Amino acid sequence: MSDDTLQVELVSADRLVWSGEASQVRARTTEGDVGILPNHAPVLALMVHGVVDVTTTDNETWVAAVDSGFLSVANNRISILAEHAEMAHDIDLEKAKADLERVKKSGELLEDAENALESAWAEARINAAERAS
């Protein structure tokens, strides 16, 4: 790996979701959106539900939905660790929209925190799928 590439691993609780070399990664943290380029200073950040964009060294873009987790950057290595992560091309957009609608309709029956988490995950999946298409 050269000094102008990043080694990226996107990991969910149960599997490796994506791994490869990249020229750029964008993610959403509790402090806002971050963009990571090669030779970035070390970072450890808390992520929020959102979208991760990876631009590969071949100039392809891979998009994933992630929920809360951690983003670690050191020595041109990025580890993105999330409870749930799903590549945009694996997301059924219509199902994700139906899930969001179901969560919104059942909002009165669920605790506010649980409803907010389910809603945020559904929205992250929708955003990832729409961004990738």
- Which pTM value belongs to this model? 0.86
Q: Which residues pair with 77 in a beta bridge?
A: 7, 74
The per-type count for the chain, helices as H runs and strands as E runs, is 2, 9
Secondary element (H or E) of residue 20: strand 16-29
Amino acid at site 78: I
pLDDT in tens, 82-132: 999 999 999 999 999 998 888 887 765 556 777 788 888 999 999 999 998
Lookup: tokens for 4:
């102008």
Q: How far apart are CA 38 and CA 113, in angstroms?
A: 37
